[in-house]
Structure formats: structure tokens, C-alpha cells
Amino acid sequence: MKVLLTVDLEQDCPPYLDTFRGMEQGVHDLLTLLTDAAVPATFFATGVVARRYPHTLATLVAQGHELGGHGDTHRSFTRLAADQANAEIARSSESLRRLAPVTAFRAPYLQFPDAYLPLLEQHGYRIDASQARYKLHALRPSPPSRLQRLPASVPSSVLRLPDPLRRLWLNRLASPVVLFVHPWEFVDLRQEKLRLDCRFRTGSLALEDLQHVIEHFKAKDAHFITVSDGCRHPA
Ligand SMILES: [Zn+2]
């Protein structure tokens, strides 16, 4: 079984907050956990994050993690005209590629119009990780594209469910398992006025949960790989 752990680097709980506590506090603990567990991850970062926190991104690249694109400002591509979508991809790619080669993309909110897939190819992307197996429209056939698609397997909040419930979800997943988390989940947002799925069991509890998820898959002899590795060796 292959497991791809991915992380979306962005402002806190978009579109509700415009702070960056995840980037300033949460990501450090996450990187320590990944180093201790010897698990490589793929970090999809916005262009805004690349310009605000270039040293954090350089650090995670130096630690062997992969960098991917997550749009520039975290606006939903479903609300952008073609020229705006092109500008979001162009600007973010330029900022991110100063730090590392970037060939994987995930759209904010896992929403990316099929009509814009050629834009990704034009900007040098080979992999699109914007789809979600657990969304209804994932059942729709995709248009032909040279891009490799790597859909997310479960919503990020599922990883924070109490252990018995979480196991029910995780035991049903087929390889390649694509998990995703956000650095703001590792900041205690439980007292914030936010949607429940943005705040429940956030902070050190979420970090413990992620540790348990990694142990769950290691106990099944899972192989943790980056998104590019997953596409080089399809499951
Ligand atoms: Zn996002």
C-alpha cells in the first residue's frame, strides 16, 4: 500500500480567516513530526505563502519534502475567468519555482474547472491533485488530459475524528491513499468562531491524531511517498 501525505500551505482556515498562525506556529511542529517519523510529504503552497515564508519553504525542501502549487491567493478557480485563472497559476508558479522545481498542483477547496486543465499543462505541471474521491462529482468522467490525476482519499477533518471512527474510514481506503492536512489544524483554534470542521480537535490533539494515522499505516507496512514518486510508480 502506498500512502501520500500532503499538506496545503495557506492562510488559516480559508475563506474564514486571513491570519497565518499555521505558517508561523503549526508548520514547525508538523515538520518535526515528519522528521521523527521519517515520512516524506508534498506541500502544496500558495504564492502568497511562498512570498511571505520563503525560508520555511526552503527548509522543508531541504528536508526532502516536495513543493507543489496551490494557486496564488487561495481564491476558488470556479469563480475566476480564464485570464484570472491563468494569472493565479503564473504568479504562484513563478514564486514557488524560485525555491524548488514544481510539477504538482492542487486547487484551493479541491475545486478546479475541467476547462482550465490545459492551463496547468501550459505552465509545466504534470500532476493534478485537485480531485476528491469522496465528492459526488468525482464520479463524473474526466476529459482527456496528459496530466496525471491523484485524488484525495478523505477530507482532512476525518483524520481528527476519535480513533474508532477514524479507523472505520482509514480501513476502507485503497492504495494509493492520498491524505491531506493544513498547518492551521496544528494550532489550537477550538475557541475561534469558525465552522466546526475547521476547529474541532485542533492544536496538539491534531498533531497526536496525525501521529496515530502514520502509525496506523506503518503497521500495515505502507510505503510513504511524495506525489511525484506516486506518479512515477502508479500503484
Ligand atoms: Zn487550501
Instruction: Tell me the pLDDT tens digit for each residue of 179-192.
Output: 999 999 999 999 88
206-234: average pLDDT = 92
Between 201 and 85, the higher pLDDT residue: 85
In which element (H, E) is residue 57 found? helix 54-62
Question: Directed axis angle between helix 163-170 and helix 204-218, to 10°?
Answer: 40
Q: How far is the CA of 122 from the centre of ligand 1 (A)?
A: 22
Q: How far is the CA of 216 from the centre of ligand 1 (A)?
A: 25
- The greatest distance separating any two alpha carbons of the chain, rounded to the nearest whole angstrom, comes to 47
**Which of 148, 85, 93 lies closest to 124, judged by CA?**
93
pLDDT > 90: what percent of the chain? 87
Q: How far is the CA of 105 from the centre of ligand 1 (A)?
A: 11
Q: Is the pLDDT of residue 152 over 70?
A: yes
Lowest-pLDDT range of 14-18, 41-45, 49-53, 79-83: 14-18
Residue 234 — very low, low, confident or very high, per pLDDT cuts 50/70/90? Answer: low
**Which of 162, 90, 80, 91 lies closest to 119, judged by CA?**
90
218-230: average pLDDT = 95
pLDDT at 214: 98
Q: How far is the CA of 127 from the centre of ligand 1 (A)?
A: 17
pLDDT at 135: 82
Q: How far is the CA of 89 from the centre of ligand 1 (A)?
A: 14
Q: How far is the CA of 73 from the centre of ligand 1 (A)?
A: 10
Q: Could you give all domains of the chain from N- to C-terminal order, each with its CATH number? A: 2-232 (3.20.20.370)
Between 183 and 140, the higher pLDDT residue: 183
Q: How far is the CA of 172 from the centre of ligand 1 (A)?
A: 25
Q: How far is the CA of 17 from the centre of ligand 1 (A)?
A: 12
Whether residue 88 contacts residue 77, with contact meaning beta carbons closer than 8 Å, is answered with yes
Q: Which amino acid is at 176?
A: P
C-alpha cell at 70: 496551490
